[in-house]
Homo-oligomer: A and B are copies of this chain.
Amino acid sequence: MEEIRDTKVSEGAPVSRRVRISDLADALGLTKSTVSRALNNYSDIAPETRRRVAEMAAKMGYAPMPYAQAVRTGRVRALGLVLEIDAPDRYGPFLAEFLGGITQEASLEGWTLTVASSSSREEMEATVTRLLQEHKVDGFILPRTRVADHRVDFLRAKHVPFVLYGRTGYGGPEHGLSWFDVDGGQAMRAAVLRLAGLGHRRIGFVGYAEEYNFALLRRDGYREGLAEAGLPLDPSLERLGVINRADGMRATEELLDLPDPPTAIVFSTDMTALGAYDAARARGITIGRDLSVIGYDGIPDGRMIDPPLTSFAVDSRQAGERLAALLIAQLRGAPAENLRELVEARLQPGGSDGPPVTT
């Protein structure tokens, strides 16, 4: 931490020493403890005393250390996170791990996390503006990068540092952006190759909403896997815009109702893959035997279900830690475009995939 310097000078005089709580106490005829408690607005100090202390603090130019430091550095050492509370799946079961990662890493560096929420673009922009105006945040972590991401445009226009959870670059410019991402495309490719290796020739894909960058990257990974396995691309085997478990069930039923149905399906999220179990139960077929399924995320529900879901697990705690570390590095002056990290998801084998039934 940098040294705190004096913040007040007499007109034209050399820099004087910082006003301390003991100075306020002397001036007011109160104990240091009472002054400190009054400044912190403790309820056991009478309102009148709190008012007197506040007025004297203002008069003498008293500023607590962090404010003094903030004035000098322009920083409050706070990361900002604006949650989109109407996100379709409400961040699933990852949020606690993700926040744990951010806050632990921030804490190690002496930073904190300010969380806000918004339910619309307008509210997000108003919230970000307020957090900046009130000096409550130095930079932002943006979850879930979109293909056309208005948050990126908004923060760049304001020259506010930020880091994205998820690459940009699907049809948009990448210049000067900082991000952390898990390579979902690579996982989808590996899932297809795994299924092809088991003997599957008709492999379906069920993807998320295409406004999100990761949904398109995963779809591309699936297609690369098909190409690499020498399997033809059949658009009728692809579904996008599948968000929740009920959607996943419907998409599975649609694929199974095709004239030449798939024997295996790769899902871009575990939550939607659980819908395949619902579809299988409804038809009396068995996951892992009659239909092979591979998911992505590694959620606890996938391990509890029978048979356990084969998935590519994402470490949400690590994601939070790395995003905090990258943003702090950027706020300390590292160029944003040097702050990019891509990690791989980890295969978590279950019992939901096996060789196709030969009929």
Q: Could you list which residues of chain A lie within 8 angstroms of chain B, going by C-beta atoms?
A: 5-11, 15, 37-44, 47, 50, 54-55, 57-68, 70-78, 83, 85, 87, 90-91, 93, 95-97, 99-100, 103-104, 107, 110, 112-117, 119, 127, 130-136, 138, 159-161, 245, 274, 278, 281, 301, 304, 306, 331, 333, 336
Question: What chain B residues lie within 8 Å of A100 (beta carbons)?
Answer: 83, 85, 117
Question: What chain B residues lie within 8 Å of A67 (beta carbons)?
Answer: 63, 67, 70-71, 135
CA distance A85 to B83 in the complex (A): 19
Partner pick for A136 among B39, B73, B112, B116, CB 8 A cutoff:
B112
A96 in contact with B107 given A41-B75, A66-B136 (CB within 8 Å): no
Judge whether B9 and A41 touch: CB under 8 Å: no
Judge whether A71 and B99 touch: CB under 8 Å: no
Question: What chain B residues lie within 8 Å of A130 (beta carbons)?
Answer: 110
Judge whether A103 and B116 touch: CB under 8 Å: yes
Judge whether B112 and A83 touch: CB under 8 Å: no
Copies in the complex: 2
Partner pick for A43 among B44, B103, B161, CB 8 A cutoff:
B161
Q: Could you list 28 examples of A-B contacts with CB < 8 Å? A: A7-B61, A9-B60, A10-B10, A15-B59, A40-B132, A41-B138, A43-B161, A44-B159, A54-B74, A55-B72, A58-B71, A63-B71, A66-B133, A66-B135, A67-B67, A67-B71, A76-B136, A77-B134, A78-B114, A87-B96, A95-B96, A99-B117, A112-B114, A112-B131, A112-B134, A112-B136, A113-B116, A278-B304
CA distance A71 to B53 in the complex (A): 10
Judge whether A63 and B66 touch: CB under 8 Å: no
The distance from the CB of A214 to the nearest CB of chain B, in whole angstroms, is 18
CA distance A37 to B159 in the complex (A): 8
The distance from the CB of A154 to the nearest CB of chain B, in whole angstroms, is 15
The distance from the CB of A95 to the nearest CB of chain B, in whole angstroms, is 5
The distance from the CB of A130 to the nearest CB of chain B, in whole angstroms, is 8
Judge whether A58 and B7 touch: CB under 8 Å: yes
The distance from the CB of A321 to the nearest CB of chain B, in whole angstroms, is 11
CA distance A54 to B73 in the complex (A): 6
Judge whether A59 and B114 touch: CB under 8 Å: no
Judge whether B83 and A54 touch: CB under 8 Å: no
Judge whether B59 and A9 touch: CB under 8 Å: yes
Judge whether A85 and B96 touch: CB under 8 Å: yes
The distance from the CB of A127 to the nearest CB of chain B, in whole angstroms, is 7
Question: What chain B residues lie within 8 Å of A133 (beta carbons)?
Answer: 66
Chain B residue at smallest Cβ distance from A274: B304
Question: What chain B residues lie within 8 Å of A159 (beta carbons)?
Answer: 37, 40, 42-44
Question: What chain B residues lie within 8 Å of A43 (beta carbons)?
Answer: 159, 161, 333, 336
Question: What chain B residues lie within 8 Å of A58 (beta carbons)?
Answer: 5-7, 68, 71-72
Question: What chain B residues lie within 8 Å of A41 (beta carbons)?
Answer: 73-75, 138, 331
The distance from the CB of A323 to the nearest CB of chain B, in whole angstroms, is 14
Residue from the set A67, A331, A336 with the largest chain B CB neighbour count within 10 Å: A67
The distance from the CB of A34 to the nearest CB of chain B, in whole angstroms, is 12
Question: What chain B residues lie within 8 Å of A331 (beta carbons)?
Answer: 41
The distance from the CB of A66 to the nearest CB of chain B, in whole angstroms, is 5
Question: What chain B residues lie within 8 Å of A54 (beta carbons)?
Answer: 71-74
